[in-house]
Structure 1
Amino acid sequence: MNVSFSSLFVILLALFAANLPFLNERLFALIPLKSGEQAATKPIWLRLLELLVMYAIVGAIGYALESKIGNAFAQGWQFYAVTGCMFLVFAYPGYVLRYLKKKHR
């Protein structure tokens, strides 16, 4: 896997993973949440927690790809601040579809 393909892969994976908590009602898109007989709606705090876990997973995959290509560089707090904000920007379309888009009845 070359550098440009792995970079594009991590960016597309981050875009997908950032929107995943807002586009379904299952925990990590796998575990259904139930309240009695009906499917429960995920609260916002659970979506944000899921978003944080997805950020860590995408970061680990990115680190593994970087290590496979060559030297993995040490990152400071600035790197995590920038990538965290970028992950939140990637999550914005899913947030808009879930909470801000007007539902026509």
Structure 2
Amino acid sequence: MTHTFSVWLVLITAFIAANLPFVNERWLAVLPRRAPHKTLWMRVAELVLLYLLVGALGLALEQRAGQIAPQGWEFYATTGALFLTLAFPGFVYRYLYRRRG
């Protein structure tokens, strides 16, 4: 697996994972829920968990490619902001898009 493919894999996975809490009513798109709808806070908690899972995927791919570079708080602030930016289409679909009828 090349470095370019690894980068694209993490970016596409992050886009899908960031929008997943907003496009379905299941926990992590797998586990059914008892209540009919998830609240915003449930979606945010799921978003944080998916951020950590995508980060683990990125860490595993970096480990496989070679030595892991040290990361400070700036790295996590930047990737967190990127993850929230990638979640914007799902948020708009769930909360801002008005359905007619």
Q: Which TM class, normalised by the smaller chain length?
A: over 0.9
Alignment root-mean-square deviation, CA: 0.6
Highest CA radius of gyration, 1 or 2?
1
Letter in structure 2 aligned against 1:83: T
Letter in structure 2 aligned against 1:74: P
Which residue of structure 2 lines up, in the alignment, with residue 3 of structure 1? 3
- Structure 1 position 34, deviation (Å): 1.6
> Given the two structures, how large is their TM-score scaled by the length of structure 1?
0.94
- Structure 1 position 31, deviation (Å): 1.0
In structure 1, stretches of 5+ residues that fail to align are none
CA distance in 2, matches of 1:94, 1:104: 18
Specify the SS of the correspondent of 1:32: coil
For 1:75, which of 71, 75, 82 is the aligned residue? Answer: 71
Letter in structure 1 aligned against 2:83: F
In structure 2, stretches of 5+ residues that fail to align are none
Letter in structure 2 aligned against 1:6: S
Q: When you count strand as a share of all residues, which structure comes out higher?
A: 1
Kindly report which structure 2 residues correspond to 1:46-65, keeping only aligned pairs within 5 A, or say none.
46-65=42-61
Per-residue CA deviation, residues 60-95 of structure 1 (Å, 9 max, x unaligned), is 000000010011111000000000000000000000
Percentage identity across aligned positions?
47
Q: Which runs of 4+ in 1 moved over 6 A?
A: none
For these two proteins, the number of residue pairs brought into alignment is 101
